[in-house]
Structure 1
Amino acid sequence: MDRRRFIATTAAATAALTAPASTLVHTLASLDNPAPRFDPLRHRFGVNYTPSHNWWFCWNDWNADPIKRDLDAIAALGADHLRILLIWPFFQPNPKWVSPAHLERLNQLIMLMGERHLDALVTVFTGQLSGWYFLPPFHRQSDLFFTDPMTLAAQELFVRELSRTLAPHENVIGFDMGNEINTCWTASMPVGDAWMKRMFALMNEALPGHLHVNGVDHNPWFTDATFSPQALIADQRMPVMHCYPFWTGAVKYGGPMDPPSVKLLAAMATLIRSYAGTQQKPVWAGEFNTCIKELSDDQQAEWLDKAVHAAIEQGVSWFSYWDSHDVDRKFDFNPLEYTLGLLTNDGRVKPAGRVFKQLAESYRGKQVVFPTAALPPPPSQKTTDATWHWILDWLGWKGKA
């Protein structure tokens, strides 16, 4: 399913590629002398944080008390990191000005996370989140995001101001360029790749010694969509994948507990490595869930257990589940969004939360074991259908098609 098209429809309706394997592993372990917590060769478990009180609108209606309760509950599940979502126009309503109040709220959130031994991956250009667009007043939704001089200057200012806020904190993993940037702004792959290279250079200069990523949705791995797989691999120590059986179309090829769904993380990691040309490439599952609203809480927990075990067998390094808390139904969201949490909106642990805790306790900090099987070449055609046929062949799945 085309997630960008779905989001657009909802909005309208509601308003040198790789090194040899041995060299690569050594380089990954030592590059920029990362702290042990940033080691891509050891498993980590975290969540995408969705505040229980007023969702991410809380950036504009700040109250630290419910956030403290949320973080206590997340830490109790065994999470070691959170992906936190900035809302770009909240933080930067003008191209030449970043809100000091919002920077201070970010500073406070990072401090509260550090007190609970939670590390932070901080998104930057979040123009789309959970089906809603958040566009700064000085920019419209267009390809000019990647090329307009004023917009590029505003982007640089934002990254530098965020970096000054984050630099004193030891629990910052780094930046994620945005929340699936390619679902909000698109460009030809040469233009997208050039912007990404420029942005990684800026982030590495402004906040050095950290792990910066570009968390795109599944489309660039399946089709020609703004960023090329080659650039996403070459420019990141650990490429990120977002894996949802519903959004990728896995449900077309089997039921929720069939291989196309429960082994989607494993298959997408293999797909990424086929483009890398090595099994030794660390991969981060930066967002994953089923988004199949028909599943019961117990079935969702069963899927989580099977999906993560299959992914660990294929050497996926880090896991960041979508999401921490259910969304309060007082807000208008797509029905898929309300019940994706490990915790209810009032903080009760759901079955998936209990499974997450077991997985984190079993694997967190353990050495990643990469597969040794020969990699197939990438799909011969870069289309969704051809990529799915490649995945089904790799799975050896002959179910419905």
Structure 2
Amino acid sequence: MDRRRFIATSAAAGAAVVAPGGSIARAFAVPDNPASSRLDPLRHRFGVNYTPSHNWWFCWNDWNPDPIKRDLDAIAALGADHLRILLIWPFFQPNPKWVSPAHLDRLDQVVSLMGERHLDALVTVFTGQLSGWYFLPSFNRLSNGFFTDRVMLDAQELFVRKLGRTLASHQNVIGFDMGNEINTCWSAPTSDGDAWMARMFRLMDSALPGLLHVNGVDHQPWFANDTFSPKALVADQRMPVMHCYPFWTGAVKYGGAMDPPSVKLLAAMAALIRSYAGTQQKPVWAGEFNTCIKELSDEQQAEWLEKAVHAAIGEGVSWFSYWDSHDVDRRFDFNPLEYTLGLMTNDGRVKPAGRVFKELADTYRGKQVVFPTAVLPQPPSQKTPDATWRWILDWLGWKA
């Protein structure tokens, strides 16, 4: 399933293995600053992508912190240690030369509330696209100007620097995520995408030095030539991020929901990423994962979660951020797949997957990552979805 094509259609319709001398620990050590222990890619972390139960992310405009406090209490009770929070770019920056002080203040409040509950924040920036809807700033360029146009680049720099000033005083910030799957909203030749990504990492490192900044793309760049090259994604990030959904990647074409292509998708995509990195000892972050298989019952979704995370732990995946915290309120118009993806219902009831998440988090949080030792095959010989899936199926030893 091509996620970008779906979004466009919807919009139109409406313990680590360490080399001698501890070289691996040195290679992946984060900069020497107070955040170092929190940003350790060699220790497992468990978090969620936050979906506010009250007014979804429209809450950035219709501001009321009380429901957010209740949500954060419930998320912390599930054992999460971090949240990925989604900014809506046009809400925060309605003009290329102006960022809303009111929205920056609301972000400041949210991160403070998270800190009070010992929750760290990964803050997305250029969103862009979220849950099948486009959120484009008024000054958006509809072609690949996002990556090359001077108006866009200057606006992006202003936004990042304003965000950096807002977040700099907080001790619970992990860093920036460049956006929510930027490549599903803006696409470009990989030469332009890679150059933009390198520029953006430099800018983000300048705005919030010493933190962990990532580019959380969907699965497409790992499966085909799409905006960012795998080589740049693994070279430029200390911990590459993968978004893993059996429905959207097409895993469901190769077996049932509980078959290896689905329940071992996180493990297989981590192996694929490491094949491009050329080492088994590259930390990988599962930044979004769920099934998006609407036919599954709540109990089956919980079963999938347990199996998928155990398989990924066995493959040395470092951090996990489940999609998402809460079901989406059905009074809003979204794709039906979006309404039931939460660990909790919209009114805060913990679902079976939420209970499994807590068990997993309590079992593995803070434990040392154990990287695999098997020799990795070379990356797929062709950069196409079919060739990549043949590589994954061979790695799994699965005959579809």
For the aligned pair, the TM-score class normalised by the smaller chain equals over 0.9
Aligned counterparts of 2:186 and 2:32: Cα–Cα separation in 1: 31
Unaligned residue ranges in structure 1 (runs of 5+): none
Residue 237 in 1 paired to residue 238 in 2?
A: yes
Which residue of the partner structure matches residue 142 of structure 1? 143
Q: What TM-score does the superposition give when structure 2 sets the normalisation length?
A: 0.97
Cα deviations across residues 336-361 of structure 1 (Å, max 9, x unaligned)? 00000000000000000000000000
1:315 maps to: 316
Check whether the contact 1:247–1:291 (CA below 8 A) recurs between aligned residues.
Answer: yes
Q: Check the 8 A contact 2:30/2:36 in 1, yes or no.
A: no
Residue 154 (structure 1) aligns with? 155
CA contact (8 A) 1:135 1:141 kept: no
Corresponding residue for residue 354 of structure 1: 355
Q: 1:87 to 1:339 in 2, by over 3 A?
A: same
Partner secondary structure for residue 29 of structure 1: coil
Contact 2:257 2:263 in 1 (8 A): yes
1:128 counterpart residue number: 129
Deviation at 1:37, TM superposition (A): 1.0
Say if 2:223 is the partner of 1:222.
yes
Structure 1's 133 and 369: CA in aligned 2 closer, same or farther, altered over 3 A?
Answer: same
Distance 1:86-1:385 versus aligned 2 partners, 3 A rule: same
Kept in 2: contact 1:257–1:303 (CA 8 A): yes
Name the counterpart of 2:342: 341
Q: Residues 232 and 32 (structure 1 numbering): CA distance in 2 closer, same or farther, change over 3 Å? A: farther
Work out whether residues 141 and 152 of structure 2, in 8 Å CA contact, stay in contact via their aligned partners in 1.
Answer: no
**1:118 is matched with which residue?**
119
> Secondary structure of the equivalent of 2:307?
helix
Match of 2:327 in 1: 326
- Structure 1 residue 386 corresponds to structure 2 residue 387: yes
Where does residue 27 of structure 2 map in the other structure? 27
For residues 87-132 of structure 1, the C-alpha deviation after alignment (integer angstroms, 9 at most, x for no partner) is: 0000000000000000000000000000000000000000100000
Question: CA RMSD for the aligned pairs?
Answer: 1.3
Spell out, residue by residue over 1:197-236, the C-alpha distance to the aligned partner (whole angstroms, 9 max, x if none). 0000000011101000000000000000000001001110
Please show how residues 283-322 of structure 1 align to structure 2 within 5 Å.
283-322=284-323
Offset of residue 141 of structure 1: 2.9
CA deviation vs aligned residue, 1:167-196 (integer Å, no higher than 9, x gap): 000000000000000000000001000000
| Shift, 1:32, TM fit | 4.8
Contact 1:86 1:125 in 2 (8 A): yes
Question: Once the two structures are superposed, what CA deviation does each residue of 1:22-74 show, in whole Å capped at 9, x if it has no partner?
Answer: 64541212435442111000000000000000000000000000000000000
Q: Distance in 1 between matches of 2:340 and 2:206?
A: 39
Offset of 1:140 from its aligned partner?
A: 3.3
For 1:1-16, list aligned pairs within 5 A: 1-14=1-14
Residue in 2 aligned with 1:54? 55
Query: Residues 49 and 83 of structure 1 are in contact (CA less than 8 Å); yes or no, is this contact kept in structure 2?
Result: yes
- Any residues of structure 2 matched to 1:130-279 within 5 Å, and which? 130-279=131-280
Q: Secondary structure at the match of 1:247?
A: helix
Aligned counterparts of 2:147 and 2:91: Cα–Cα separation in 1: 20
Count of equivalent residues: 395
User: Which amino acid in structure 2 is aligned with residue 10 of structure 1?
Assistant: S
Alignment TM-score, normalising by the size of structure 1: 0.97
Q: In the alignment, is the contact (CA less than 8 A) between 1:87 and 1:125 conserved in 2?
A: yes
How far apart in 1 are the matches of 2:260 and 2:106? 43
AA in 2 matched with 1:268:
M
1:86 has 2:93 as partner: no
C-alpha separation between the residues in 2 aligned to 1:30 and 1:176?
A: 17
Alignment of 1:357-372 (within 5 A): 357-372=358-373
Deviation readout 1:237-292 (Å, 9 max, x if unpaired): 00000000000000000000000000000000000000000000000000000000
Q: In 2, Cα distance between the equivalents of 1:266 and 1:23?
A: 24
Task: Report the Cα distance in structure 2 between the residues aligned to 1:317 and 1:10, rounded to whole angstroms.
Answer: 34
Are the structure 2 counterparts of residues 133 and 30 from structure 1 closer, same or farther at C-alpha, using a change threshold of 3 Å?
A: closer
Q: Is the 8 A contact 1:222 1:384 kept in 2?
A: yes
Residues 1:73 and 2:74 aligned together: yes
Query: Aligned-pair distance for 1:13?
Result: 0.4
Q: Is the 8 A contact 2:267 2:311 kept in 1?
A: yes
Contact 1:189 1:225 in 2 (8 A): yes
Name the CA distance, whole Å, in 1 between partners of 2:346 and 2:328: 6
Is the 8 Å Cα contact of residues 83 and 122 (structure 2) preserved in structure 1?
yes
Percent identity between matched residues is 83
CA distance in 1, matches of 2:123, 2:20: 31
Q: Deviations over 1:287-337 (max 9, x none)?
A: 000000000000000000000000000000000000000000000000000
TM-superposed CA distance for 1:83, in Å, is 0.1
